[in-house]
Amino acid sequence: MSKIIEIKTAVVKFLKSNVRCHEMTIIKLDKVEDNWEAVAEVYEDDSFLKSMNLPPKNTRLYYAVKMDQEKEVISFERLTEYFH
């Protein structure tokens, strides 16, 4: 398996274990020096609607994940916006 596929799989596995979501797509995966930077488009339940006991609606969010060569997560954050 190619290294990029291994990193993509590791990013998906990490996000699935740390973010409650319905759908997830890796939309960007770059090698920067010795590390990998990924951006994922994730659909989660709208937390505001959920807190008001209203019918759920999916919200699209973006997460950035940085990993090293050994597939250890270096950083993880939810982005406030993402421009392609």
The domain over range 3-79 is classified in CATH as 3.10.450.630: yes
56: nearest Cα among 72, 65, 45, 64: 45
End-to-end Cα distance, the chain? 27
Cβ neighbours, 10 Å, residue 7 = 22
Note whether 29 and 6 are within 8 A (CB). Answer: no
Specify the pLDDT at position 48.
77
Specify the pLDDT at position 1.
59
Specify the pLDDT at position 46.
77
Domain boundaries, the chain: 3-79
pLDDT tens-digit series, residues 18-77: 988 878 999 999 999 999 999 999 998 777 777 788 887 888 999 999 999 999 999 999
